[in-house]
Amino acid sequence: MDRNTVTGLILIGLLLTVFAIFNKPSEEDQRKIREKQRKEQEKKDAAARAKAEKVQKEKESKTIQGNWITKLDDEGNPVPADSGMVVLTDTTGTLGDTIVPMEMVPTPKKEKTADIAEAESSENKKPRTIVKDSLLTLESDKLIVEFNAKGGTVASVKLKEFESYRDYAKNDKKISALTLFESGDAVNELVITKNGRKFTTGSLAFDVAKYDSLGKRIVFEYKGKDEELIRFSYSLTDGQYDLGYDIKIKGYGGKVSPQNVLLSWQTKFRQTEKLMSEQRRVSTVCYNYKDEGFSYLSEVSNDAEKAEDDIEWVSFKQSYFSSFLHPERPFAKSRSRMAIGTFSEGSKEDGMYIKKYKAKMNLGFSNTDDASLHMDWYFGPNDYDVLASYDSDYDEVLNYGWGIFRWINLYAVQPLFNLLQSWGLAIGIAILFLTVILKLLLMPIQWKMYTSSAKMRILKPEIDELNKKYPEKEDAMKKQQEMMALYRESGASPLAGCVPMLIQMPILLAVFRFFPSTFDLRQKSFLWAEDLSSYDSIAKLGFEIPFYGDHVSLFTLLMAGTTLIYTVINQSNMTTPQQPGMPNMKYIMYFFPIMMIFFFNNYSSGLSYYYFISTLSSILIMIAIKKFFVDEEKLKAKMVARKAAAKSDNGGKGKKKSKFQERLEQMQKAQAEQQKARNQAKKKK
């Protein structure tokens, strides 16, 4: 590659950088784009909420029946209420009066619904009463949690320190608490089999036995027949993402087997990030077995598993936030199971929720006369430092790769990245420094690769002569033997460039997992990228291109461009022998950068930015090595001198061979003799 070519490549790189900077959308343009996206999302959410409310009203109207009748005055007329409303009274005299919409008035002789029949079975045929939603709130400096007296459940959870992408895009300089799930999205209830009949606590009316909002504690109690008691206690603590969760049952001895008390936990997480498909791609149910360790369900399809061992904790994981349910003693494996599910494409839920998570866990009670279990319920970020602080392997949910790739991320890439951030550097500059440091550490390997390719270029004329000398397949063994002798005498090796590449590959693959999983990139901007954890966009296409998307990611284009330039330079430095009948690898390598445009367009812009800087650094290092460190003329002279010295050694027979080389040549000679014998046999026939 001459000086003009090098100058051209540098100018191309400068032009790409200048183009990227000057074509960065202005702050006003970015604000308008975010405002437009926010309004569109709000319209979708409003429509979804309206539809959900309508469905909920229809559902509620079906449950108001049995003991409720229209209240009449002395003259037999309905008691007046607001327009469209009617007063109902409870015939049992226990609940008094209530006002409901006219359409919710019960119709005579209506069949009982399944949930009413189930509740009646749990109450030993006691009269059915309406269980109305009654929400109460506990709040700490980290969490806002709503509870429902109906079922004594956790109704909604919000994280005060974070916000969804939709709120972040408003750019209003204030944080609107991020909603993990809202009322109606989740349920935590007991599934109990009593006297052979199953019932759940989710539809039962619990009393609020204690509600201390200042003390951040709430207790729900349900009292059944013969001093039967079910108690749910919840508590928050400042400075923690944990919700204390205590379950106590009493008075069920002889009626309920300990193995028939299960906890059902179900959640539908709401979208919190920019791109729903990317958030779903890494969302699943994770769990930690007592003996077998960490495991998880499929991230790409519906999946379910029955517990194979006692479970220390179970986690509902999404891209940047998770919920962990961790009991003080492991859940028993008997009848415990986990499941992850997707929604049908185009459905209302498909546009609102990430996935549906389910876990049914055996609480492992030893008796039901008087049993209890304490659990810690984590609702928080997938931040490595936060998760690792629990010392319970929570950080295993972070997809940093497996084996050596995870070790590289945990013990090399992440500590270095954290160090750079501790200096107060902007996130984009920290990534830049991280990339440059890693490339400088790998520079000796790149120098070794370049030297090896230079040696192969020098030997190319002699290799071509050997190919001409032995054109026939029958002489392949002789040609190979002479090539090996040539490599040995000159100090070159066709594999010398592959080994350094194999050393670099674990780092490249580790970083591929690191940046999309790093919480520090979430909602951090750099240049034109408003959120490095998601894709950057310099233009909206207004239509969808299959496998590409509806936007143009500039960091992806820059990455693909530098990869193409690096490929061109690298191909010019290497000699790739073309085997008959094999595809030309050169053109396959040129096609790879084009594939990257489609593959990375929806990926984390922080990852694309890293690969762009990494490849650009490789180009500059390769040019520097060629210019200042490797003189091919001197290298050629050394190789000639080495060959001459090798031939003069050992009485002109060449340098003494190692035992491995001697055995290898003996095998080659034996194969050559066998091939010669086969050829002679064919000629005789």
pLDDT tens-digit readout, 267-300: 999 999 998 888 998 999 999 999 999 999 999 8
pLDDT at 546: 86
pLDDT at 341: 93
Which region among 98-107, 124-133, 199-208 has the lowest average model confidence (pLDDT)? Answer: 124-133
Reported as half-sphere exposure (CB side, CA atoms, 13 A), residue 257 has a value of 9
- Give residue 58's Cα distance to chain centre: 37
Say what angle helices 554-573 and 585-600 make with each other, to 10 degrees.
170
pLDDT digits (tens, 9 = 90+) for 227-273: 899 999 999 999 999 999 999 999 998 888 999 999 999 999 999 99
pLDDT digits (tens, 9 = 90+) for 538-590: 888 888 888 888 889 999 999 999 988 888 877 765 555 444 444 455 667 77
Query: What is the value of pTM for the model shown?
Result: 0.71
Bigger pLDDT: 192 or 54? 192
Q: Per residue in 376-390, is it b (16+ CB within 10 Å) or e — as a string?
A: bbbbbbbbbeebeeb
pLDDT at 64: 44
pLDDT digits (tens, 9 = 90+) for 464-492: 777 777 776 666 677 777 777 766 666 66
- Per the CB < 8 A criterion, the answer to whether 517 and 524 are in contact is no
Domain 135-398 has CATH 2.70.98.90: yes
Bridge partner residues of 356 (DSSP): 268, 341
CB atoms within 10 A of CB 463: 19
**Where along the chain do its domains lie?**
1-63, 135-398, 413-640, 660-685
Bigger pLDDT: 581 or 534? 534
Using DSSP's 3-state secondary structure scheme, residue 140 falls into coil
- The two beta strands, 261-270 and 353-362, are antiparallel
- Per the CB < 8 A criterion, the answer to whether 265 and 238 are in contact is no
pLDDT at 587: 65
Bridge partner residues of 242 (DSSP): 378
Question: Could you give the dihedral angle defined by the CA atoms of residues 339, 345, 350 and 356, in that order, rounded to the nearest 10 degrees?
Answer: 0
